Amino acid sequence: MKSPLDKAHVITSKFGMRTLAGVTSMHNGIDLCPQDGKHPTDIVAVCDGTVTYKVSNLPDGHTGLNVSNNAAGNCIYYKTDDGYRIQYHHLKADSICVNVNQRVQAGDKIGVMGTTGKSTGVHLHYEIRNPAGNPVDPLPYLDNGLALPVVQRSKPILRNGNKGSDIKNMQELLLKAGFQLPRWGADGSFGEETLTALRAFQTAHKLVVDGICGPLTWGALGKFA
Ligand SMILES: [Zn+2]
């Protein structure tokens, strides 16, 4: 199988049980971001198959974790020739360039990474269902014959709703860099105040202003350590 992205990427959330904003649930796929943090990023077919389902009319935007419907955002599903279903979620508005019943071949462009649906930042949710319809861990498929390397992050990627010592570390660096957290300070909890400060930091440092602390933002914050 090929990689679902056309350039090197990092895994920001693995398959399995996870806790987001205090709620533990099963994550049926893996979340991927480009290693260089730059967008737009093209999403490509991982193997040959036929498109079975598509949603493409949702507007761009961070719709958050409380979405009750359209959680997958703009999405595309296709069935591989051996009966597996490949699912891509959260694509950018109007970016999907294949239609239902269309044949796709490994490497064909499907659309562009986005943040529609139940999502707090630009990423690809990549999911594989076996012929029985059950989700399987995409990681081994990603590693097998992967066109591009999987790069494990050295610093965790942080987003709104996360808690812990890495958040506190990021908040302390934001404060040192001169960005205020007047209400909560460095409390180890990534909420709206931290999001506002992080976006201001990203704007000031000419980074992608996505409110997510990824490799490039960590690199810029590191200068204030
Ligand atoms: Zn996901």
Residues 202-219 have a mean pLDDT of 87
Q: Tell me, what's the pLDDT at 148?
A: 37
Instruction: State the virtual CA torsion across 155, 198, 19, 110 in degrees, nearest 10.
Output: -80
Q: Tell me, what's the pLDDT at 50?
A: 96
CATH of the domain at 124: 2.70.70.10
Cis, peptide link before residue 215, omega less than 30° from 0:
no
- 3-state secondary structure (DSSP) of residue 112: strand
CATH of the domain at 211: 1.10.101.10
Q: Tell me, what's the pLDDT at 195?
A: 97
**Alpha helices of the chain — where are they, by DSSP H?**
139-143, 165-176, 192-204, 215-222
User: Residue 203 pLDDT > 90, yes or no?
Assistant: yes
How many CA atoms within 13 Å lie on the side-chain side of 58? 25
Domain limits for position 17? 9-151
Q: Is residue 56 part of a domain?
A: yes
Exposed, middle or buried by CB within 10 Å (0-12, 13-18, 19+), for 27?
middle
Residues 204-220 have a mean pLDDT of 86
Q: Is residue 22 part of a domain?
A: yes
CA 5 to CA 43: how far, in whole Å?
5
**Distance between Cα 179 and ligand 1 center (Å):** 30
Q: Tell me, what's the pLDDT at 62?
A: 62
Torsions phi, psi for 159 (to 5 deg): -145, 170
**Distance between Cα 141 and ligand 1 center (Å):** 16
Give 220 or 182, the one with higher predicted confidence: 182
**Distance between Cα 196 and ligand 1 center (Å):** 24
Residues 156-164 have a mean pLDDT of 90
> Does 110 lie in the same domain as 183?
no
User: Residue 120 pLDDT > 70, yes or no?
Assistant: yes
**pTM metric for this prediction:** 0.65
Q: Is residue 64 part of a domain?
A: yes
Classify residue 186 as left (phi > 0), alpha (psi -120 to 50) or beta: beta
Cα 48 to the center of its chain, rounded Å:
24
> Does 104 lie in the same domain as 74?
yes
**Which of these three, 94, 119, 151, is where a domain ends?**
151
**Distance between Cα 124 and ligand 1 center (Å):** 7
CA 16 to CA 78: how far, in whole Å?
22
**Residue 188: C-alpha distances to residues 160, 191, 192 (Å):** 11, 9, 13
Q: What is the pLDDT of residues 82-98, one digit of tens each?
A: 889 999 999 999 999 99
Q: Is residue 156 part of a domain?
A: no
> Does 81 lie in the same domain as 16?
yes
Q: Tell me, what's the pLDDT at 154?
A: 57
Give 66 or 81, the one with higher predicted confidence: 81
Tell which residue, 222, 225, 220, 193, has the closest CA to residue 207: 220
Give the pLDDT band of residue 150 (cuts 50, 70, 90): very low
**Distance between Cα 89 and ligand 1 center (Å):** 8
**Distance between Cα 48 and ligand 1 center (Å):** 23
Q: What is the pLDDT of residues 173-202, one digit of tens each?
A: 999 999 999 999 999 999 999 999 999 999
Residues 87-113 have a mean pLDDT of 95
CA 179 to CA 175: how far, in whole Å?
5
> Does 145 lie in the same domain as 44?
yes
**Which of these three, 151, 185, 210, is where a domain ends?**
151
**Distance between Cα 128 and ligand 1 center (Å):** 12
**Distance between Cα 178 and ligand 1 center (Å):** 33
> Does 120 lie in the same domain as 25?
yes
Count of structural domains within the chain? 2
Q: Is residue 180 part of a domain?
A: yes
**Distance between Cα 224 and ligand 1 center (Å):** 31
> Does 127 lie in the same domain as 54?
yes
Q: Is residue 103 part of a domain?
A: yes
Give 223 or 146, the one with higher predicted confidence: 223
Exposed, middle or buried by CB within 10 Å (0-12, 13-18, 19+), for 127?
buried
Q: Tell me, what's the pLDDT at 65?
A: 66
